[in-house]
Chains A and B, each alone.
Chain A
Amino acid sequence: MKQLFNQLISFPYFFKIAQKSFPYLFLLSILVILLGVLWGVFFSPVDVTQGEVYRIIYLHVPAASVAQSIYYTMVIASITYLIWRIKMASVFMISMAPLGAIFTFLALFTGAVWGQPTWGTWWVWDARLTSTLILLILYLAIISLFSSFDRRASTDQAVSIVVLIGGINLPIIKLSVEWWNTLHQSASMTLSGSSIDNEMLIPLLISIFGFYLYVTAIGMRKMQVEILKREISHNWVKEIFIEKR
């Protein structure tokens, strides 16, 4: 177990693994997303109150879920970096932040499209929406931090401090915004069960799974790029690319 962990956080080993597994993972994720979304859009039943409109759930919920999960994994990575100085953790944070920003934007966008017919407005300053918007701002602020230092190590440390403080603060922001305004329906899926009918739930779960696979694949690719940027002058990089020729 420990050996596996050590191998995963070593740049050359991770790079090779990612290089091999990326095509399969990427293809699989596209297939799963297509399966989930197409099933949801064309074959799942019509919702009784919302009609056809609800089908955007198959994009909205996975995007929102991925957007939040990315932040939590980044918090874990930041703690790892601050305590053990594992470089892979900072590579992870820096690669995932842009993905998080994109998916947060996607969640907001699909949410707006969904809100227009159901709530009667593209945007309300409601708790869930506002805190998602803040999540997007936080992602963008973290990304803008990437280029504000001269030294690599300073950037890594600054990013992990901001990610960690943001991670502690995010639930507080959420709560305070909730006191401020709430309209968004409560969570449909909890650990104890789901209030979504099975026929609708299964494609949704497939779609969520597909989004996670996609983020894993693209995240791995982005981490490879980040590793190359850092290790470009190392021998193992040269070896890999000379071998290929």
Chain B
Amino acid sequence: MKSFYFKTFQRDSKVYLSRSSSFLGPIVFFLITITLYPLAFGSDEEKLAELSAGIIWISILLANLLSHQFIFNEDYKDGSLDLVLASGKSLFLWASIKIFVNWYFSSLPLIFLSLLTSFMFYLPYDAALILALTLFLGTPILSMFGALAGALTLERGNIVGSSIVIPMCLPALILGILAIQSYKNEELFFYIFLLAAFLFFSIPILIASCLGAIRLHFE
């Protein structure tokens, strides 16, 4: 007998894989946005290398916004959210799993993709690795804030959610980009540690507020 939490994981993964829009949507969006930058700023090698970290980070942040509404919205629509709330299972664990699956299918592919695309922006190899590391620490934060926005606007997924997420995500963006920019200096670890601290600080607080936001639709 598999546990409830494992089944949640399995089911959500299947849903993501079976629907190309939720899986490929962010990837296509990411690729098209990063293509816009050289078209807008010109293909000057030096300029692009200087901008590359920011370009990739911002594109991933925006691409992430696309997948937020999938986290809780479907469960809300088909009524399974009611059942979970009534089941007496640990909602905290359940929400963590759902957010993790969302991150796994929408952000992880983007991290690998960003490693590939960083060479198109002439980012040095070392810096590209740091970029991947900062994204690895930063994208879960984006997913959690996105989940919160999605949970707040369950009834109608609207633009309000995104406008709340972006300002809140700023520390992750700033620390990530600072780390990449100082990839050969001693400050590097200062920023990486702080980014990690921000991540672990966000986990319990954001997931708990997600649950609070979900509950308000059932009061």
Contacts and interface: CB of A to CB of B under 8 A. Distances in A.
Pair from one complex: yes
B213 A158 contact: yes
Nearest to A154: B216
A148 B156 contact: yes
Interface residues of A, number: 29
A148 B174 contact: no
A145 B205 contact: no
B216 A141 contact: no
Interface residues of B, number: 27
A162 B155 CA distance: 17
A140 B159 CA distance: 13
A153 B216 contact: yes
Contact of A179 (B156, B167, B178, B212): B178
Contacts of B170: 134, 173, 176-177
Contact of A180 (B155, B168, B174): B174
A165 B148 contact: yes
B168 A169 contact: yes
B164 interface: yes
A141 B164 contact: yes
A164 B174 contact: no
B167 A148 contact: no
A141 B163 contact: yes
A175 B171 CA distance: 8
A150 interface: yes
Interface in B73-94: none
Contacts of B168: 165-166, 169, 173
B175 interface: yes
B203 interface: no
A149 interface: yes
Nearest to B148: A165
A165 B174 contact: no
Given A144-B163, A154-B217, A161-B209, A176 B152 contact: no
A176 B174 contact: yes
A168 B205 contact: yes
A81 to B, nearest CB: 12
B137 to A, nearest CB: 14
Contacts of A179: 174-175, 178, 191
A134 B173 CA distance: 14
Interface string A156-199: 01100110111011001101110110000000000000000000
A173 B170 CA distance: 7
B10 interface: no
Which one of B158, B212, B216, B219 has the greatest number of beta carbons of chain A within 10 Å?
Answer: B216
Nearest to B153: A148
Given A141-B163, A161-B209, A169 B216 contact: no
Contact of B152 (A137, A150, A158, A164): A158
Contacts of A150: 155
B160 A144 contact: yes
Nearest to A181: B174
26 contacts: A82-B212, A140-B163, A141-B160, A141-B164, A141-B167, A144-B163, A145-B164, A148-B153, A150-B155, A154-B219, A157-B212, A161-B152, A161-B209, A161-B212, A162-B164, A165-B205, A168-B205, A169-B171, A173-B167, A173-B170, A176-B170, A176-B171, A176-B174, A177-B174, A179-B174, A180-B178
Given A134-B167, A137-B167, A172-B171, 12 more contacts: A138-B167, A141-B167, A145-B160, A157-B212, A157-B213, A158-B213, A165-B209, A169-B171, A177-B170, A177-B174, A179-B175, A180-B174
Interface of B: 148, 152-153, 155-156, 158, 160, 163-164, 167-168, 170-171, 174-175, 178, 191, 194, 198, 205-206, 209, 212-213, 216-217, 219
The 10 closest A-B pairs by CB, nearest first: A176-B171, A157-B216, A176-B174, A141-B163, A141-B164, A158-B152, A172-B171, A137-B167, A148-B160, A144-B160
